[in-house]
Amino acid sequence: MFNESKTALWFVLLAAVLMVADTLSVSAETPPGMTYRNYPEWEMLPKVLDYEDEQINDRIQKLVDEGEACHEAMLAIVKQCDDWMVATSALAILRETTGDKSGIVAELKPFFSERLCRSEGQDDWLLTSIAQFLADFGTEDDIDVLLPMLEHPNMRVRYLGAQYLGQRGDQQAIEALEEAKSRESNNLVLDEMNKAVTSITSRLAGQDEEMPEAP
């Protein structure tokens, strides 16, 4: 009786071992999720700051010339890369490429909003680069993404947020700027916020004058 129980136990253990081995085998054969490291472009981007290297310049220019063909790879690097300098370089290439930038803006908006929730650090340089990209290629519909910049802990981000809102802002931006001014302690940022309010007010007034009068 004891031997039969022992034999049965060995069968159970053997079955368990085989099941685990089979599971590990399947997991090993499952391809990993797509990340920026799946794109060959990311490996050369750290060298993008070495502008004296003609070979690197040629490769970067090739990416730029590919236009929309390289958008997917560059966006993956911007959104997922843990090196902010590499991600910023990829964003710079996206800026130079030909093709419709509206799709890039749509891709960056949720990523930009998520980045704004982080504490200040070196990736603020990437944050401000994205903000400039949105300000340059976005529309008035994208202003809501720039408004949170006014509350960011980094003064550089707040400064640029005010600057970009001054270029594209509307009445909503004026209200946000006025509220931000009441709690701003940095004089440089406060001065830029005042300039932004003046710029937006002047632009909106000009638009009202251009509107035809109702018959």
Ordered by start, the domain boundaries in the chain are: 34-99, 119-202
**Torsion angle in degrees (nearest 10) through CA of 136, 137, 141, 142:** -70
Residue 60 has phi, psi (to 5 degrees) of -65, -45
Pairwise CA distance, residues 118 & 111, whole Å: 11
Q: What is the pLDDT of residue 140?
A: 76
Q: What is the pLDDT of residue 10?
A: 40
Is the per-residue pLDDT at 153 higher than 90? no
Average pLDDT, the chain: 76
Q: What tokens were used for 146?
A: 């720039």
Q: What is the pLDDT of residue 199?
A: 94
Is the per-residue pLDDT at 57 higher than 80? no
Q: What is the pLDDT of residue 23?
A: 34
Q: What is the pLDDT of residue 121?
A: 64
Q: What tokens were used for 9?
A: 């136990």
Q: What is the pLDDT of residues 113-134, one digit of tens each?
A: 887 776 556 677 888 888 888 8
Burial class (CB in 10 A: 0-12, 13-18, 19+), 137: middle
* Averaged pLDDT, 155-179: 90
The better pLDDT of the pair 35, 171 is held by 171
Q: What tokens were used for 182?
A: 């009441």
CB 78 within 8 A of CB 87: yes
